[in-house]
Amino acid sequence: MKLYIIILMIYLLFFITPVILYLKLKDKVNPIEFLKLNNNIKDGLFISILFVIVLIVKRFIVGGEPINLNIGILWVSGSLVGIFEEIPFRGFVLQKLLNHMDFILANLLTTVLFVSIHIPIWILSDVNIVSSIKSIFIVSLILGYLFHEYNSLWVPIMCHSIFNICIWIGLT
């Protein structure tokens, strides 16, 4: 649990704060508007709920281990990690790359960066790194597509948070 709090603090200090300062001081834009945090909250909620329903139906059909709703601070961490990871990656990096290349290449590069920052955490957590790379690579591409399609960072933020929580409670 302490590891998750430390990781969240690292994201806040080294990812979120520099992005906001860069946008305000260098680009001289409103970070909320640039990051597209001012619209489509309902779409994010709808897609996230749909995702959970699909997972529940899959669980009902296929079966699986019991769901663990007692994950403590991970409920908070799961909710915040979507914000803390989507702001720098889809909100900032992807949009900056879109100024120089087409969406597919920008999304692929953002995804490679996104997967790369998870590798140290996976090493510390003793997870199957190859399997994690595959699944997070696909999820990251989808989150980039959702951001591009809905023109709102709230859609990938909510989907990302729900995805993490579903993993931690054992619904995936």
DSSP letter assigned to residue 153: S
Contacts of 130 (CB under 8 A, 6+ apart): none
pTM for the whole structure: 0.88
pLDDT band at 1; cut points 50, 70, 90: low
For 83-139, write each residue's pLDDT tens digit.
999 999 999 999 999 999 999 999 999 999 999 999 988 888 888 999 999 999 999
Count, residues in the chain:
172
For 10, left (φ over 0), alpha (ψ -120 to 50), or beta?
Answer: alpha
Residue 151 has pLDDT above 70, yes or no: yes
Residue 75 has pLDDT above 80, yes or no: no
Q: Can you tell me the distance from the alpha carbon of 67 to that of 121, in angstroms, rounded to the nearest whole number? A: 24
For 15-27, write each residue's pLDDT tens digit.
999 999 999 999 9
* Number of domains observed in the structure of the chain: 1
Residue 150 has pLDDT above 80, yes or no: yes
Q: Which of 28-32, 59-63, 143-147, 151-155 shows the lowest per-residue confidence on average (mean pLDDT)?
A: 59-63
User: How does the average pLDDT of the chain come out, rounded?
Assistant: 89
DSSP letter assigned to residue 22: I
Residues of the chain above pLDDT 70, percent:
97
Contacts of 124 (CB under 8 A, 6+ apart): 3
Q: Can you tell me the distance from the alpha carbon of 51 to that of 40, in angstroms, rounded to the nearest whole number? A: 17
- Residue among 112, 103, 109 at smallest CA distance from 137: 112
Q: What was the pLDDT predicted at 11?
A: 83
Q: Can you tell me the distance from the alpha carbon of 72 to that of 159, in angstroms, rounded to the nearest whole number? A: 20
Contacts of 110 (CB under 8 A, 6+ apart): 89, 90, 93, 94, 97, 140, 144
Q: Which domain holds residue 156?
A: 2-169
Answer whether 154's CB lies under 8 Å from 87's CB.
Answer: no
Q: What was the pLDDT predicted at 27?
A: 96
For 32-58, write each residue's pLDDT tens digit.
999 999 987 888 888 888 888 888 888
Backbone angles phi, psi at 136, to 5 degrees: -70, -30
